[in-house]
């Protein structure tokens, strides 16, 4: 069978801005989901995963929607993608799918988007070769939102499909939604030349987007936009904030307004070829805002950020939806920072985190 790969992501900055029509700046990780796929002619999907040894899910393509509720949770992501192809009018005659992933699950590194995007690009090549990148992103997102029932924005799938090696992807989500083309800019992100590295610390405290906190934040953002008579918080400014009577909504909106400004400031600095150390303070400010105003951080995330900064990191922040998962830190001395995070976790009685350095990797592609 032929093979395709789609990566997980970390967002350099721009958290909880995507569903507010705002700005994001992710990189793809050198961790991903590999999908081996081969066409069948009998109308069946046969699905296996190296992470689920011994489990085989076999289901008729015509009955996918009807069978959804009795399918195991993990299988709803890839099968949701097959269902999206069928709904989009693409003729899928049957397919074998064998999955194998290296993105840790529940770490806020988009294992589910990597999974959906790997299956999407495989099905594109096998059954719908004219499909655009943009349409692939929409299919992967719809599978996750609909069939799998997880209310994500567009950040993760865009990163997995569009990122390129050595670059961060600057995406204006509104421009993306409004136009047929993909409004994306590849921003060179070369830390090594500046003597820097980006580390990820997976705290091991899982986050779960299907839990209520993420949906509640989305609803609060919509309520804040409605109270300001705006279609999305993307259009709010700091002058608007005092008009929000509800203090919780005001804090949520303040995060979105300041976070969008921080993304633009980071992009300006990187575009101007500034020393990447200059973005560190903005990363830390993003974390403070996610902790104080958006209230999506967690003790393990705060501890990892503090430990990284205490050990000399130029900036550090939680990434992804929050409530658990991972942080990133911009560092000169990988070992020193990693050791301090490990040490602080041990003395706090938390299980050891997984700390590793990452470089911007390539987006979804066929493996030769
Ligand atoms: C999760 C969602 C994304 C985005 C982030 C927060 O990763 O899947 O769409 O909203 O949270 O930035």
Going by pLDDT thresholds of 50, 70 and 90, the confidence category of residue 59 is very high
User: What is the C-alpha separation between 298 and 314, in angstroms, rounded?
Assistant: 21
Mean pLDDT on 308-314: 98
pLDDT tens, 237-254? 999 999 999 999 999 999
191 CB less than 6 Å from ligand 1? no
Q: Which residues contact 178 (CB under 8 A, 6 or more apart)?
A: none
User: How many angstroms does the Cα of residue 12 sit away from the middle of ligand 1?
Assistant: 13
Given 122, 154, 188, the domain boundary residue is 188
Mean pLDDT on 325-333: 97
Among all residues, which ones are annotated catalytic? 156
Given 148, 163, 188, the domain boundary residue is 188
Residue 81 and residue 10 in one domain: yes
323 CB less than 6 Å from ligand 1? no
* Residue 179 pLDDT: 65
Mean pLDDT on 267-290: 97
Whether 287 is in a domain gets the answer: yes
Whether 366 is in a domain gets the answer: no
* Residue 181 pLDDT: 61
Q: What is the CATH number of the domain that holds 172?
A: 3.30.230.10
Residue 166 and residue 220 in one domain: no
* Residue 45 pLDDT: 98
**Closest by alpha carbon to 139, among 148, 37, 23?**
148
* Residue 176 pLDDT: 77
Residue 180 and residue 117 in one domain: yes
* Residue 209 pLDDT: 61
* Residue 148 pLDDT: 85
Q: Are 196 and 314 in contact (CB under 8 A)?
A: yes
User: How many angstroms does the Cα of residue 81 sit away from the middle of ligand 1?
Assistant: 19
User: How many angstroms does the Cα of residue 15 sit away from the middle of ligand 1?
Assistant: 7
Residue 142 and residue 235 in one domain: no
Q: What is the CATH number of the domain that holds 239?
A: 3.30.70.890
Given 170, 188, 206, the domain boundary residue is 188
**What atom of ligand 1 comes closest to residue 11's alpha carbon?**
12
To the nearest whole number, what is the mean pLDDT of the chain?
95
Mean pLDDT on 154-181: 89
Residue 241 and residue 111 in one domain: no
User: What is the C-alpha separation between 331 and 63, in angstroms, rounded?
Assistant: 51
Cα-based distances in Å from 81 to 90, 95, 184, 353: 12, 12, 24, 32
Whether 363 is in a domain gets the answer: no
User: How many angstroms does the Cα of residue 247 sit away from the middle of ligand 1?
Assistant: 23
Mean pLDDT on 209-217: 82
pLDDT tens, 140-151? 999 999 988 888
Least confident segment among 107-111, 195-199, 206-210, 235-239: 206-210
pLDDT at 211 over 80: no
Structural domain harbouring 196: 192-358
Going by pLDDT thresholds of 50, 70 and 90, the confidence category of residue 258 is very high
Whether 368 is in a domain gets the answer: no
* Residue 109 pLDDT: 95
Whether 84 is in a domain gets the answer: yes
Whether 155 is in a domain gets the answer: yes
User: What is the C-alpha separation between 269 and 164, in angstroms, rounded?
Assistant: 20
Whether 158 is in a domain gets the answer: yes
Mean pLDDT on 103-115: 93
153 CB less than 6 Å from ligand 1? yes
Residue 272 and residue 344 in one domain: yes
Mean pLDDT on 206-235: 90
293 CB less than 6 Å from ligand 1? no
Residue 8 and residue 152 in one domain: yes
pTM of the model: 0.95
320 CB less than 6 Å from ligand 1? yes
Pocket residue to mutate for ligand 1, from 103, 145, 155, 319, most atoms within 8 A of Cβ: 155
* Residue 316 pLDDT: 98
Whether 173 is in a domain gets the answer: yes
Residue 43 and residue 161 in one domain: yes
User: Strand pairing partners for 39?
Assistant: 95
pLDDT at 213 over 60: yes
Residue 226 and residue 240 in one domain: yes
Least confident segment among 80-94, 108-122, 197-211, 282-296: 197-211
Question: Based on the structure, what is the number of domains in the chain?
Answer: 2
Residue 280 and residue 338 in one domain: yes
Residue 201 and residue 141 in one domain: no
Residue 174 and residue 196 in one domain: no
**% of the chain with per-residue pLDDT over 90:** 91
């Amino acid at each position: 069978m032929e093979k395709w790969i789609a990566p997980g992501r970390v967002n350099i900055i721009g958290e909880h801005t995507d569903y507010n029509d705002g700005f994001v700046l992710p990189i793809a990780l050198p961790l991903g989901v590999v999908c081996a796929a081969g066409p069948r002619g009998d109308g069946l999907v046969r699905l296996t995963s190296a992470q689920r040894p011994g489990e085989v899910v076999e289901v008729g393509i015509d009955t996918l929607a009807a069978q959804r509720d009795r399918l195991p949770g993990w299988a709803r992501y890839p099968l949701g993608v097959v269902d999206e192809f069928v709904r989009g009018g693409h003729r899928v005659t049957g397919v074998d799918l064998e999955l194998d992933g290296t993105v840790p699950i529940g770490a806020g590194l988009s294992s589910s988007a990597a999974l959906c995007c790997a299956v999407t690009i495989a099905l594109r090549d096998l059954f719908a070769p004219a499909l655009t990148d943009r349409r692939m992103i929409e299919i992967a997102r719809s599978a996750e939102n609909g069939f799998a029932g997880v209310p994500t924005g567009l950040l993760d799938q865009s990163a997995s499909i569009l990122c390129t090696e050595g670059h961060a992807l600057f995406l204006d989500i509104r421009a993306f939604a409004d136009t047929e083309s993909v409004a994306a800019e590849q921003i060179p992100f070369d830390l090594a030349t500046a003597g820097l590295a980006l580390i990820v610390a997976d705290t091991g405290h899982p986050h779960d987007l299907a839990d209520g906190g993420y949906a509640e934040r989305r609803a609060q953002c919509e309520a804040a936009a409605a109270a300001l008579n705006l279609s999305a918080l993307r259009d709010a400014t700091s002058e608007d904030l005092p008009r929000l009577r509800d203090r919780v909504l005001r804090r949520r909106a303040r995060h979105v307004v300041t976070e969008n400004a921080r993304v633009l400031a980071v992009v300006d600095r990187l575009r101007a070829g500034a020393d990447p150390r200059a973005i560190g303070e903005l990363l830390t400010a993003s974390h403070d805002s996610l902790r104080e105003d958006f209230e999506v951080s967690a003790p393990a995330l705060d501890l990892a950020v503090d430990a990284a900064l205490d050990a000399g990191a130029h900036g550090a922040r939680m990434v992804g939806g929050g409530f658990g998962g991972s942080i990133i830190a911009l560092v000169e001395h990988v070992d020193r920072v990693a050791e301090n995070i490990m040490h602080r976790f041990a003395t706090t009685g938390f299980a050891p985190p997984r700390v590793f350095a990452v470089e911007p990797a390539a987006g979804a592609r066929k493996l030769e």
